[in-house]
């Protein structure tokens, strides 16, 4: 059996994701699609709209065969670290390929750019550092450095979000998993950051779907853009826990962090640099909402996304020393299995004996400092949920076994 990997957030799973999974299997001639999915908090520093378990069910009901969690140490990170972690897990699971969507859609362009970066790495790094010192954000500085060092006609447009991630996937494969083959297809319809639901088409961006849910508060508005399974999981989650998670719901908890940590402690939090904690501390005392707080802190150098990640690390109280130690290891520390179809179970049965990374299905059977952070993330994620159901959500981290789905009957197995 051949397996291809996809790196996802499914926040929430929509028709564009379903198309992506189908294309992944077709383009790579694979029997199985393995999704490495961010857990409670996502790459841009936001909470997932619903739990990892609800999103796993959405994925399994729409063509994904295995869902594994991307650990927090990789998930809430800049693109390079995010990609390295995802590729490490897919490599450990013996995937022969990785499939991703991109604005460019030409894998040769990604490979050319990755090779050019490898040849000119020191020069590009030097130019990037110089531009960051002048006040540019890291992604903008890195893209500009590429343009200066290498002939732009041979390069990707690295200002586009999916091109950036795709470049780092290909670079990670080139550096650590050369036997894995990268594939890409051009994203169709809505762009990653599109905030408005499109007319006369079924594929909308996850951003526009979340915005519509926030603005209108009803599922009817987004129903045309979501598979039936996704709608049911969203509705069931909201009925059980009384909310869909948003960044705003964590604002009071973030204020608590600032009110209970001194400057020395704030300086020790991962990604807090160059005295930004003073600006953050001042802003949070004046802001009446999370959005207002971020708008007061944001600068050309500190983008919205980078600040959101900082705030998530603050909520999690992740220390620089701890994160740096965990990221020293180049191999994935473990594979946290969240769910599988019958075909996915068959694949795991075939490769399990060859895995050189622990496959974790029960938390009681394995321990690791990175897994401790995943557990902490689930607890922090549950904070806006009222008791007693908050306890149910927290305990799900320990009590939920990998979800089993029978794709032939369309039923989950207990």
Positions at the binding site for ATP: 7-20, 101, 162, 187-188
* 169 close to 155: Cβ distance less than 8 angstroms: no
Count the helix, strand and coil residues of the chain and give each as a percent rounded to the nearest 5.
55, 10, 35
Give the residue ranges of DSSP H helices in 9-120: 15-28, 52-60, 72-75, 79-92, 107-119
Please state, in angstroms and rounded to a whole number, the distance separating the CA atoms of residues 312 and 44. Answer: 10
Closest CA to 9 of 61, 81, 58, 80: 58
Q: What is the DSSP letter of 106?
A: -
For the annotated binding site, the residues are 7-20, 101, 162, 187-188
Please state, in angstroms and rounded to a whole number, the distance separating the CA atoms of residues 185 and 183. Answer: 7
Please state, in angstroms and rounded to a whole number, the distance separating the CA atoms of residues 311 and 400. Answer: 28
DSSP bridge pairs for 3: 32
* 308 close to 294: Cβ distance less than 8 angstroms: yes
Please state, in angstroms and rounded to a whole number, the distance separating the CA atoms of residues 49 and 206. Answer: 10
Please state, in angstroms and rounded to a whole number, the distance separating the CA atoms of residues 11 and 3. Answer: 23
Please state, in angstroms and rounded to a whole number, the distance separating the CA atoms of residues 367 and 3. Answer: 28
User: In angstroms, what CA-CA distances link 205 with 60, 86, 147, 190, 194?
Assistant: 20, 22, 29, 6, 6
């Amino acid at each position: 059996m051949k397996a291809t990997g996809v790196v996802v957030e499914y926040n929430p799973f929509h028709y564009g994701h379903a198309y992506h999974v189908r294309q992944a299997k077709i383009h790579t001639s694979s029997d199985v699609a393995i999704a490495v999915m961010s857990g409670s908090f996502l790459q841009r520093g936001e909470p997932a709209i619903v739990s990892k378990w609800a999103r796993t069910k959405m994925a399994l009901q729409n063509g994904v065969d295995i869902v594994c969690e991307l650990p927090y140490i990789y998930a809430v990170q800049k693109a390079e670290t995010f990609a390295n972690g995802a590729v490490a897990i897919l490599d450990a699971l013996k995937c022969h390929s990785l499939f991703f969507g991109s604005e460019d859609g030409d894998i040769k362009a990604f490979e050319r750019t990755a090779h050019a970066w490898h040849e000119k790495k020191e020069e590009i790094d030097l130019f990037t550092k110089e531009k960051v010192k002048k006040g540019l954000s890291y992604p903008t500085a890195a893209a500009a450095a590429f343009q200066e060092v290498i002939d732009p006609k041979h390069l990707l447009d690295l200002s586009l979000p999916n091109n950036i991630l795709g470049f780092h996937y290909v670079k990670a494969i080139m550096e650590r998993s050369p036997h894995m083959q990268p594939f890409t297809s051009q994203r169709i319809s809505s762009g990653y950051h599109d905030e408005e639901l499109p007319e006369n088409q079924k594929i909308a961006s996850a951003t526009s779907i979340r915005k519509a849910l926030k603005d209108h508060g009803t599922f009817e508005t987004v129903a045309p853009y979501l598979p039936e399974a996704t709608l049911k999981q969203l509705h069931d989650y909201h009925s059980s826990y009384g909310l869909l998670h948003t960044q705003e719901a964590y604002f009071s908890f973030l204020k608590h962090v600032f009110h209970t940590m001194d400057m020395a402690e704030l300086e020790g939090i991962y990604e807090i640099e160059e005295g930004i904690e003073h600006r953050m501390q001042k802003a949070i005392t004046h802001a009446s909402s999370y959005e207002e707080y971020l708008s007061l802190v944001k600068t050309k150098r500190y983008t919205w996304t980078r600040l959101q990640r900082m705030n998530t690390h603050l909520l999690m109280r992740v220390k620089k020393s701890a994160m740096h130690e965990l990221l020293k290891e180049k191999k994935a520390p473990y594979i946290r299995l969240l769910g599988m179809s019958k075909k996915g179970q068959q694949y795991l049965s075939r490769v399990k004996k060859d895995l050189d990374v622990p496959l974790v299905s029960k938390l009681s059977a394995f321990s690791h400092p990175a897994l401790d952070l995943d557990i902490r993330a689930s607890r922090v994620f549950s904070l806006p949920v009222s008791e007693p159901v908050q306890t149910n959500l927290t305990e799900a981290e320990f009590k939920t076994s990998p979800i089993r789905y029978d794709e032939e009957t369309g039923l989950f197995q207990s």
